[in-house]
Structure 1
Amino acid sequence: MTANTIKQKLQDALKPDLIEIIDHSAAHAGHAGNKGGGHYNVTIVSEQFEGKSLVQRHQLIYQIMGDMMKDEIHALGINALTPTENSKGN
């Protein structure tokens, strides 16, 4: 359910051209430091990233995720691209 919530929050905030979420939680359950939050990789393509550095893109996504980063998400891998970057295969 958390992957769906992540997807919905990002769709609502960024209106992406593409969004893919991969849930790796089962592979990481019970490892040191994980208190129950999931492991996710997100690929998102949005015009909202135009003119933003990689750090700014990640900060924007963390801001959108808000409190989910405290409990529901233990690790979040982010691949944030503009439509132009995505069309070039970056």
Structure 2
Amino acid sequence: MSVEQIIIEKLTAGLSPVHLEVINESDNHHVPPNSETHFKVIVVSEAFDGKRLIGRHRMINELLADEFANGMHALSMHTFTPTEWQAEVEIPSSPKCRG
């Protein structure tokens, strides 16, 4: 199973998101072809209600601890409650790797 699919399954099981996007951005970095080391996630979940940004990120980091321990290098997180998401948020583009 791909790392991307594992991320989807773990975030779905742990956060019951109403919206989830998992984007493999490894090709923006200096890694071998077909790597799964750099990801961006957009997660909209009621589980984030009342949580500050750091708490939301900690929740995701805990769910994906094994993936970080096994080669995932970077994870860009964009986390929203359903109410925040309805406000038409803008997700920034990720920069290309400088190295």
Q: RMSD value over aligned CA atoms?
A: 1.6
CA distance in 2, matches of 1:29, 1:5: 23
Unaligned runs of 5+ in 2: 90-99
2:68 match: 69
Unaligned runs of 5+ in 1: none
Name the structure with the higher strand share: 1
Name the structure with the higher helix share: 1
* Identity %, equivalent residues: 34
Report the TM-score when normalising by structure 1: 0.87
1:15-47 Cα distance to aligned partner (Å, 9 max, x none): 10000011011221439xxxx761000000000
Q: Matched residue pairs, number?
A: 86
Determine if contact 1:2/1:72 at 8 Å carries over to the other structure: no
Structure 1 residue ranges, 4+ long, deviating more than 4 angstroms after superposition: none
CA distance in 2, matches of 1:61, 1:76: 10
